[in-house]
Structure 1
Amino acid sequence: MIHLKHLPPILDFEASSLSDCSHPISAGLIVSGEIFYWLIKPKPKWIDWSLTSQAIHGIKRSHLIENGLDAECVYEEINQALAGFDAVYSNNPYWEFRWLSQLGKFNIEVKDVELLIPPAHKNSWKTTFEQQFQKHNLVQHRADHDALALALTVQQLMK
């Protein structure tokens, strides 16, 4: 069993692309030991789509339209899950903040997960992160699995 209650919140998004017009398509969040995952239905103005990105995350736009949750609902649920926290951590804070902001206004700072990594592991934590996928049978570029792998990495290196 995995116990992550003592860790600060960790967030990951998958997106339509890495362009300036990109938008979030899925979100994974670890908060107080709970794992959250959302597929995000594109807003009408979110038209950007990259087949290269689709090949990486494996999510088709049509799947989001049919099965995604409205972005406003995802905003509400993430906002509720992060209530009481002043920061959430990510391995890519620039993009995570950008995509989080597209969902709505959040009163939270997105910080680099490296701030949680002990100095002795600053140069090697990414290897530990990569190992979590095989060790725990996780799928890379699935937002909840990426967030969980980050949380497990932080937990392992903080021991």
Structure 2
Amino acid sequence: MNNDFYIPVIDFEASGFGPDSYPIEVGLILNNGMTYQSLIRPHDHWTQWEEKASRIHGITREELMLRGKPPQLICQELNLYCLDQVLYTDCWSHDHHWLNTLYSSVGMSCDFRLNPIEYKLTEQQMEQWTKYKCTVADYNDIKQHRALNDAIIISNSMASIRAQKRRKPITVSA
């Protein structure tokens, strides 16, 4: 198995986009191809909820209360699966906020690092990022705005765009 194909990525869906928003779903793909996804049951003091965000990801607060795992269990599982790894995200400012919100809510430390995809891609590759991401999602018919789906799209897009730089240009000899 070529581990370079699986770029480790984590993605969150959230209650909204403001400073009081909190994570409601996490999904990841690791460099060995393992995937993980879970809904996150909100703490009682996590009350901010934006209907606009709910319409985008399609998750209701009631569904979280019914099927979500407690934040402490999510943190324990993430630490177990991601120990000492570097995971990437295409929206570091939001995902970093939600990761910190999750771990600080249960008084745990995160045993892995989160880096923006810009650490792995060149400036030229970043200019093509949106095109690659849309192409991967469309080609594979993956519904966006669910955490695991988005993590897979991001990982596959990064692998595809990085593979482009490794290809030798085709030359025609006269």
By the TM > 0.5 criterion, same fold?
Answer: yes
Task: Answer whether contact 1:4 1:33 (CA < 8 A) is retained.
Answer: no
1:39-54 equivalence runs, <5 A: 39-54=39-54
Please, which runs of 5 or more residues in structure 1 have no aligned partner? none
Task: Answer whether contact 2:79 2:112 (CA < 8 A) is retained.
Answer: no
Q: Is 1:73 matched with 2:73?
A: yes
Instruction: Give 3-state SS (helix, strand or coil) of 2:63's partner.
Output: helix
Q: Is 1:12 matched with 2:31?
A: no
- CA–CA distance in 2 between the matches of 1:30 and 1:5? 12
* Aligned residue identity for 1:112: P
Match of 1:91 in 2: 90
- CA–CA distance in 1 between the matches of 2:126 and 2:13? 25
Residue-by-residue CA offset, 1:76-107 (whole Å, 9 max, x unaligned): 1111111121x221011111111111221214
* Aligned residue identity for 2:43: K
Instruction: Give 3-state SS (helix, strand or coil) of 1:110's partner.
Output: strand
Runs of 4+ in 1 over 4 A off after TM superposition: none
Q: CA RMSD in A?
A: 1.6
Match of 2:34 in 1: 34
Instruction: Give 3-state SS (helix, strand or coil) of 1:41's partner.
Output: coil
Match of 1:22 in 2: 21
* Aligned residue identity for 2:66: E
Cα deviation for residue 38 of structure 1 reads 0.8
Instruction: Give 3-state SS (helix, strand or coil) of 2:25's partner.
Output: strand
- CA–CA distance in 1 between the matches of 2:76 and 2:58? 26
Q: Give me the identity figure in percent.
A: 25
1:70-149 equivalence runs, <5 A: 70-85=70-85, 87-104=86-103, 105-149=109-153
1:50-65 equivalence runs, <5 A: 50-65=50-65
**Deviates further, 73-82 or 103-112:** 103-112
Instruction: Give 3-state SS (helix, strand or coil) of 2:40's partner.
Output: strand
Instruction: Give 3-state SS (helix, strand or coil) of 1:122's partner.
Output: helix
**Structure 1 pair 94–4 and aligned structure 2 pair: CA distance change class (3 A):** farther
* Aligned residue identity for 1:28: G
Please, which runs of 5 or more residues in structure 2 have no aligned partner? 104-108, 164-174
